[in-house]
C-alpha cells in the first residue's frame, strides 16, 4: 500500500487524500470505501474498485488493520465490492492481486470463487514503498462466472450519492 507509508499524516494531508478519493469516485475513475466497526466509531480497513488496465476490468484492493485481522471483514468487503463491480458498474472482469507471502490475503479470492491465473513478477511495492519490488498472484472472476460464485451470495444494500438504492432491497 504505497499510500500507507506516509502514515500517520497530519490532518490537512489526510483531508487532501480523502478529497482526492472523493474526486476520483465522483468522476467514475476509482471507488474507494472505508470499512468501519458496526457502531462506526473505528476505521477497521478499506477496500476499493480500481480501474487499472483495460476497459471493463476492475481491480479490488483491500486492507484490514492488524488488530481486526481474522474476523472475515476483508472477505465480506471483497464480496460486496465484487457484487457492486459486476451488478452496478457492469464490469466484465474483476481482478485481485496479492503478495504471495500474504497467506491470509491469498485465502480471500479463493473463498469467493476467483480463479488463480498466475504470478506477475516484480509489480508490487516493497515494504518501504519502493515500486516494482514484489511479486503478485493474480486472481480473476468473469461476469459470467459471478452468479455461481460465493461472492454473489453476499447480502448488501448500496446507495448512490443521492441516497437512492442501487443494489439490494
15: three-class secondary structure by DSSP: helix
Q: Where are the domains of the chain?
A: 2-153
Average pLDDT value for the chain:
90
Which pLDDT belongs to residue 150?
96
Cα(141)–Cα(115) distance, integer angstroms: 6
User: For the packed helices 103-111 and 73-87, what is the interaxial angle rounded to 10 degrees?
Assistant: 40
pLDDT at residue 6 is higher than 80: no
The per-residue pLDDT for range 18-42, each reduced to its tens digit, is 899 888 888 888 999 999 998 999 9
CATH code linked to domain 2-153: 3.40.630.30
Is the per-residue pLDDT at 155 higher than 90? no
Q: What is the mean pLDDT of residues 45-62?
A: 92
Asked whether the predicted pLDDT for residue 2 surpasses 60, the reply is: no
Query: Looking at 19-146, which runs of residues are DSSP E strands?
Result: 30-36, 43-50, 57-64, 93-98, 115-124, 134-142
Omega before 8 cis (within 30°)?
Answer: yes
Query: Which one, of 107, 112, 104, lies nearest residue 153 by Cα?
Result: 112
- Tell me what the mean pLDDT of segment 70-76 comes to: 94
For residue 95, list its beta bridge partners. Answer: 59, 140
Q: How far is CA 50 from CA 81, 151, 166, 169, in A?
A: 11, 18, 19, 26
Amino acid at each position: 500500500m504505497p499510500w500507507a507509508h506516509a502514515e500517520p499524516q497530519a490532518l490537512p494531508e489526510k483531508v487532501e487524500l480523502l478529497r482526492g478519493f472523493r474526486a476520483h469516485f465522483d468522476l467514475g475513475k476509482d471507488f474507494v470505501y472505508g470499512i468501519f466497526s458496526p457502531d462506526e466509531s473505528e476505521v477497521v480497513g478499506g477496500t476499493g474498485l480500481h480501474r487499472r488496465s483495460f476497459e471493463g476490468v476492475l481491480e479490488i484492493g483491500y486492507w484490514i488493520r492488524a488488530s481486526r485481522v481474522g474476523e472475515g471483514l476483508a472477505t465480506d468487503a471483497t464480496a460486496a465490492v465484487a457484487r457492486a463491480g459486476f451488478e452496478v458498474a457492469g464490469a466484465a472482469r474483476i481482478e485481485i492481486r496479492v503478495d504471495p507471502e500474504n497467506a491470509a490475503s491469498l485465502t480471500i479470492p479463493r473463498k469467493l470463487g476467483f480463479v488463480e491465473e498466475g504470478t506477475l513478477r516484480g509489480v508490487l511495492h516493497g515494504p518501504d514503498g519502493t515500486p516494482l519490488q514484489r511479486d503478485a498472484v493474480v486472481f480473476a472472476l468473469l461476469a459470467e462466472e459471478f452468479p455461481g460464485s460465493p461472492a454473489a451470495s453476499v447480502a448488501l444494500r448500496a446507495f448512490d450519492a443521492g441516497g437512492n438504492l442501487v443494489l439490494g432491497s
